[in-house]
Amino acid sequence: MIAALCPGQGSQTPGMLAPWLELPGASERLGAWSEAAELDLVALGTTADADTIRDTAVAQPLIVAASLLSYRTLASEVGDVVGLVAGHSVGELSAAAVAGVLDDAQAIALVAARGRAMARAATLAPSGMSAVVGGDPDEVLAAITAAGLHAANVNGGGQVVAAGGTAELEALAAAPPTRARVIPLPVAGAFHTPYMDAARDEFAAAVHAVTARDPRLPLLSNADGGMMPADGAAVLERLLAQVTAPVRWDLCQATLGESGATALIELAPGGVLTGLAKRALRGTPAVAIRTPEDLDDALALVRATPAPTTDEERA
């Protein structure tokens, strides 16, 4: 069974949409999605510099657009071959579209609203995020809590992201856990923590205006690594709660290993999640799609992997 992985914030790079625009239909899709996002995704994804696309309100729609472009292109070649889908943080919006809970325009409109809300919330108090790499997992979590911070992302493979006030992050960096490194991340605020309460409240209006469909594919939740509900409205509530809740990607990877996933395809702009999978899901074939040139490798992996044929096999 093939699992599709949808990357999160931080995976964006300048010009990342440019090669996709050379493909048939991509320009039309991005034009429609730009209207949904109220952003010029074409310009932002082709000519904007790194500082511009680091803005949360820009980065999140760009990442989801790249993921959906790569997925639709792949599906146009081989059809519906994915048996399970998971997204990291904002990647859950991409995953919801792949699973059929949202259409592409809905996903882009929602992620744009999410990005704007989170960007505004980040201005309310000095905050940020730092990766804590290495060290004993229990000691790392204890040190984050002791510093008055939150474990916003537990990614597995010896990586936890601490989030909270800038002063507390600086103190953690000055006295890191034993055998661990603290690396500041270039993000605007403490995402997936109570610092985003205002963002969750603002995002709620956009979420509750959407009519969702029930997922047609098993969809993993960042909350606990388990399967999302089989009800579209309930999935949307999970996506809303995720704004302030930790991302437990370690648990998502555990479920991927237990679910019978025999191959992984990380949608554009890929690389981070397949890198984590090399440690947590050793031996599982994986392809990261970064540009259209990677589609041949993804197609080869699809053709080498038997597709699920029944609902039971998909689950």
Same domain, 136 and 156: yes
**Where a domain ends, among 167, 184, 201?**
184
Same domain, 277 and 176: no
Catalytic residues: 89, 192
Check which CATH number belongs to the domain holding 97 and give it: 3.40.366.10
How many helices, marked H, and strands, marked E, lie in the chain?
A: 14, 8
Question: Residue 313: which pLDDT band, with cuts at 50, 70 and 90?
Answer: very low
Same domain, 82 and 214: yes
Instruction: Please tell me the predicted confidence (pLDDT) of residue 240.
Output: 98
Same domain, 77 and 19: yes
Same domain, 240 and 258: yes
Same domain, 199 and 153: no
The predicted-structure confidence for 39-59, as pLDDT tens digits, reads as follows 999 999 999 999 999 999 999
**Where a domain ends, among 184, 208, 225?**
184
The predicted-structure confidence for 149-165, as pLDDT tens digits, reads as follows 999 999 998 999 999 99
Same domain, 173 and 251: no
Instruction: Please tell me the predicted confidence (pLDDT) of residue 308.
Output: 57
The predicted-structure confidence for 222-258, as pLDDT tens digits, reads as follows 999 999 999 999 999 999 999 999 999 999 999 999 9
Same domain, 201 and 112: yes
What percent of the chain stands above pLDDT 70?
Answer: 97
Same domain, 102 and 176: no
Instruction: Please tell me the predicted confidence (pLDDT) of residue 157.
Output: 86
Same domain, 46 and 160: no
What percent of the chain stands above pLDDT 90?
Answer: 93
- Supply the range of the domain harboring residue 307: 2-122+193-314
Sign of the Cα torsion 74, 75, 81, 84 reads positive
Q: Is the pLDDT of residue 73 over 90?
A: yes
Beta-strand relationship, 159-165 and 2-6: unpaired
Same domain, 207 and 151: no
Question: Residue 119: which pLDDT band, with cuts at 50, 70 and 90?
Answer: very high
Q: Is the pLDDT of residue 79 over 50?
A: yes
Q: Is the pLDDT of residue 309 over 70?
A: no
Residue 208 burial (C-beta neighbours within 10 Å; 0-12, 13-18, 19+): exposed
- Sequence letter at residue 167: A
Structure tokens at 116: 């704007």
Residue 312 burial (C-beta neighbours within 10 Å; 0-12, 13-18, 19+): exposed
Sign of the Cα torsion 26, 32, 35, 38 reads negative
List C-alpha distances in Å: 227 to 15, 39, 62, 223, 248. 34, 32, 26, 10, 13
Question: Residue 311: which pLDDT band, with cuts at 50, 70 and 90?
Answer: very low
Q: 135: Cβ–Cβ under 8 A, 6 or more apart, which residues?
A: 143, 158, 176, 177, 178, 179, 180
Pairwise pLDDT comparison (308 vs 62), residue with the higher score: 62
List C-alpha distances in Å: 151 to 70, 71, 239, 240. 31, 31, 19, 19
SS3 content of the chain, % helix, strand, coil (to 5): 50, 15, 35
Q: Is the pLDDT of residue 174 over 70?
A: yes
Domain count, the chain: 2
Torsional class of 14: left (φ above 0), alpha (ψ -120 to 50), beta (otherwise): beta
Same domain, 118 and 132: no
CA-closest candidate to residue 198, choices 143, 130, 127 = 127
| Phi, psi dihedral angles at 181 (to 5 degrees) | -115, 140
**Where a domain ends, among 141, 161, 184?**
184
Check which CATH number belongs to the domain holding 159 and give it: 3.30.70.250
